[in-house]
Amino acid sequence: MTMVARTLAALRTQVDAGGLGHLNAVIGDATTGKPFALLLARRDEVWSTYFLDERGLVEEQSVRTYDDVEAAAADFLRLLRNLARIEEIDAELAARRSASS
């Protein structure tokens, strides 16, 4: 197994162990057109993280590039955790609104 394959496998394990598997994330597949997904993939010969829009197209303003797969994987995990936190806050706000109605 190559270093890249090991890194991506370890990232998938961390995503699952962190309870983040339900989020709309794609690891290693730059060809997906999955709407509203967060991706980590090799794009234009560079490791990148980026979001796709509702049509499955790259949100160019969201593209971040990295020197190596380890740095990309670490930032991808950080971004995914941020998305999970936003989801938690949204749920808490919805619960508060529901309780005050």
Q: pLDDT tens digit string along 20-68?
A: 999 999 999 999 999 999 999 998 899 999 999 999 999 999 999 999 9
CA-based nearest residue to 4, from 12, 91, 31, 64: 12
Distance CA 41, CA 76 (A): 10
Predicted TM-score of the model (pTM): 0.90
* DSSP SS3 for 25: strand
Q: Give me the domain span that covers residue 56.
A: 3-100
Q: Indicate the angle between helix axes 69-100 and 3-17, nearest 10 degrees.
A: 20
27 contacts 7 by C-beta, under 8 angstroms: no
What pLDDT does residue 24 have?
93
Angle at 76 between CA 71 and CA 78, to 5 degrees: 100
Number of domains in the chain: 1
